[in-house]
Each structure stands twice: as structure tokens, then as C-alpha cells.
Homo-oligomer: A and B are copies of this chain.
Amino acid sequence: MERVPVLKIGDFLLVSIQIDMEDQTALQLQEDLAEKIVVTGCHGVIIDISALDIVDSFVGRTLATIASVSRVLDAETVVVGMRPAVAITLVELGLSLPGIRTALNVELAIEMLARTRTEAEMLLGDDDEDEADQAAVTTP
């Protein structure tokens, strides 16, 4: 069975899906991701699908499940790199990936996640001003 690697980069986990998603691969990825979120304490998951020609309902469901599991573990999921043709097909099929946030590329996803985090901290009235200032710099 092939396994999709989960890479830790700073406060984020990055997954680049390149192989065809089968039942076992999808389940394994969900497990690996959930475990890695808990072990690393990361708050963001970025899933790159730029290698995928086709996103069918199974892949769509898998992405939605990953996003839900991550949310329960206090991590946001962003899907990046969707090809224009994939987006068109998805909508034509009636799959609009509800509950999944998207960004055009990894860097924009990191910005988006950092912004969400800062807003959450501001709502909580976080005392750690340095951290808030630092995060604010990255969000123009």
C-alpha cells in the first residue's frame, strides 16, 4: 500500500497528494494526519492537490473528512493548487467541497492560516503582545 507523506513545516503540516486515492490510502492518510496533529501540536493542515487531474466524489469526501477531523483537533485545513479544470468539473458534478477552505498556493494558505490564528488570539485577548505583533506583520 502506498502512503502519502505528511511533512511538518513550522506550525503547519503539508500533504501533497499525487497518487490515486483508494480506500486504504485515504484511511491511512486520515490516521497519519490526525496522529501528527496531536504529536506536533500544529494548527494548520495544507493539502496540495496540484498533481490531481481528477477530483471525484470520493476524493472530495476524503478531503471533507480530513478537514472535519483536523477541526476537532484544533487545526484548520486549506486545500491548495486546484487546477482550473478540476474546479469546473467539481462544480459541474455538484460537488462544491462544503466546509473546505481553499487557496491558490501554499504561501497564500500559510498567510490565510496565520491570519485566522491571529484573529483567534485577538478574540481571546491574548496577553502575549510580541506574538500578536509578529503575526500581524505577516498579514498585510
Contacts and interface: CB of A to CB of B under 8 A. Distances in A.
A118 interface: no
- Indicate how many identical chains form the complex: 2
Name the prevailing secondary structure of the A interface residues.
Answer: loop
Interface string A91-132: 000000000000001110010000000000000000000000
Nearest to A15: B16
Contacts of A105: 7-8
29 contacts: A2-B18, A2-B51, A3-B51, A4-B18, A4-B51, A5-B16, A5-B18, A5-B48, A5-B50, A5-B51, A5-B81, A7-B14, A7-B16, A7-B48, A7-B50, A7-B81, A7-B105, A7-B106, A8-B105, A8-B106, A8-B107, A9-B9, A9-B14, A9-B106, A9-B110, A14-B14, A14-B106, A16-B16, A16-B18
Interface of A: 2-5, 7-10, 14, 16, 18-19, 48, 50-51, 81, 105-107, 110
